[in-house]
Structure 1
Amino acid sequence: MDHSSAQTVILATGLQSSGSTILSWCFLQRPDMNGTLDGDTDLVPLPPAGVETPFLWYKTTISCFTLGEQVAVLEDAGCTVRPLLMVRDVRAVWMSLMKKPYGRNGVTAEDPPLRLRFRRFLHSWQDAAEKNIPVFRFEDLLARPQDSLKTLCGQLELPWQQAMIDWPKPAEQIADARHGNARFMESSRQGLLSALDPNLGKQIRG
């Protein structure tokens, strides 16, 4: 890893189909942050080199590694890590994964069975509760987009940035946006409120 020792890594992780990509995009819009939109699930966290913003963002999912294992890898490399866990109703996650090509029941370490991924998530959730790691609910993002993000920023000791809602930064300015899907990239031009619900974007921000 080639990054400044003074740089803090904000590590976000959660189950696949937990809404973590849209949260990742919100944080990567900040002028004080850059990094990885979606990390590879079968690799340890590998933040991109050459990021010069005060904060380095890295988002991945819980599949092959638990939250604790991901944090440990970064700390072993000398990083200061502020982790967060993204959660969503596991019933909704399960139903979503059943329709996704990556929601298959694998049999290898690189592509583990879904039940094993969910067990790793449960362990990560218990670990987060014990260590007072912020847990962010996708349902709160849907119900209270700005307020929930402001609360999360406070938990991560970050100042609020309106860019997290307005989305001024194009994908070309993200250090590592390789895994952003075409449908999401199209919606990312609208801003958070419109991306969540076209009608929300017409309402007064709260």
Structure 2
Amino acid sequence: MPGTETAYQPTDRTVPTRSRDRAAYDRDLVHAILDEAYVCHLGFLRDGAPVVLPTLFGRVGERLYVHGSTGSRPLRMAGQADPGLPVCLTVTHVDGLVLARSAFHHSINYRSVVVHGIAHQVTDPEEKRTALDALVDHVVPGRSADSRPADAKELAATAVLRLDLDEVSAKLRAGGPHDEPEDLGLPHWAGVVPVRTAYGTPVPASDLGPSTPVPGYVTAL
């Protein structure tokens, strides 16, 4: 049964040509990297040329969902193409700036996921609502239950794409710089500058009633 194995199976497209030791296929690791990201990049071909769009996404089990206007080009193409729209979806976290003694060995510490597959337009109303709730909760867990759901007009104006997690890989780098032995005596600082995401104090909308409290799921971010 798909999704029951602990790891995704490597394919020709998910095995990197360089730094193969950084590739990983563990299912839980892939899910964790995806779930921590807010924005993905969706790549596809349009009129024979590559297009890459940043967009929000949500995960439900072994499926990713992205959404947009019904007039959006990739969403229209996925609905018209048979069997669907070939895409490549990626997410990346930058965890640190790696400064080496030589310019050549500068790098970053990162965690990334690449997903290859066929995107399909979601037509089932129940799956569409589930997908849209997942998109909202992916940004702020618990928010979908604490906001007005989309009405019929809004649902009609929104299209959703589904991409199964089948051909998937993660790639990671951690640790310090890898300088050449002959460069270790150079008088240049070397090390890692950590990069972290930080949340600020929630700012209420200007028209929010003063008696409306900040939800616990917001203060917990």
Shorter chain as normaliser: what TM range? under 0.3
Structure-2-length-normalised TM-score: 0.21
Structure-1-length-normalised TM-score: 0.22
Give the number of the structure whose alpha-carbon radius of gyration is greater: 2
- Of Structure 1 and Structure 2, the greater helix share is in 1
- Of Structure 1 and Structure 2, the greater strand share is in 2
